[in-house]
Structure 1
Amino acid sequence: MFRKIFQDHPESVGETYGQHFQSAFGFGTAMVAGGIKCLIHGLLPTVFTTSGSDVVRTLHRRMVTHRHRDDQQGD
């Protein structure tokens, strides 16, 4: 049970639990920050004009382009 919860998925993406935690936390904070900037951009269209798309591009590059998965199922 412990292995299934804390090790199977991180290992499937070539990471330890700690590495996966750090990566996921980084992705999460980047998405929250990007989302807040998008909300502000909605109110004030002249600010943060590319911030949302910049975050999406950066995270896509980190997740899809530079990550090698053992399994291709994803979740």
Structure 2
Amino acid sequence: MSLKRLFTEHPDAVGESYFEHMGVALSFAWPLLGAGLAALVHAFLPFLCVTTASKTVKQLYARMTNRTPRPVQQGANDRMLAWDPVI
């Protein structure tokens, strides 16, 4: 497997460029990082961040499962569905 293919196979499969996919992934990573930190705070101080982590995970789950398919521009006769990075 070529080095380029390692970086582009999955983004291509979901209809995104490498940088579009990076943006979508980071749009999930930052809230997840915040949720993890809130859960860490909650572990030691249970009266703080009571619903922060679970609320974030539920919102991200809704975003992930409600993504809409869009056609990928490959060839005139070769159309496949991909996931729209804009929600």
TM-score scaled by length of structure 1: 0.76
Following superposition, the deviation at residue 67 of structure 1 comes to 4.9
Number of aligned residue pairs: 70
Alpha-carbon distance between aligned partners in 2 of 1:35 and 1:67, rounded to the nearest angstrom? 27
Per the alignment, residue 25 of structure 1 pairs with: 26
Alpha-carbon distance between aligned partners in 2 of 1:52 and 1:61, rounded to the nearest angstrom? 14
Q: Secondary structure at the match of 1:48?
A: coil
Structure of greater relative contact order (alpha carbons < 8 Å, 6+ residues apart): 1
Per the alignment, residue 7 of structure 1 pairs with: 8
Which structure's CA Rg is the greater one? Answer: 2
Which structure features the higher share of strand residues?
A: 2
Deviation per CA, 1:40-60: give whole Å up to 9, x if none. Answer: 011111111111111111111
Equivalent residue letter for 2:43 = G
TM-score scaled by length of structure 2: 0.68
Q: Structure 1 runs of 4+ off > 3 angstroms?
A: 67-71
Equivalent residue letter for 2:47 = T
Alpha-carbon distance between aligned partners in 1 of 2:14 and 2:8, rounded to the nearest angstrom? 10
Per the alignment, residue 44 of structure 2 pairs with: 43
Alpha-carbon distance between aligned partners in 1 of 2:68 and 2:59, rounded to the nearest angstrom? 13
RMSD: 2.0
Which sections of structure 1, spanning at least 5 residues, go unmatched? none
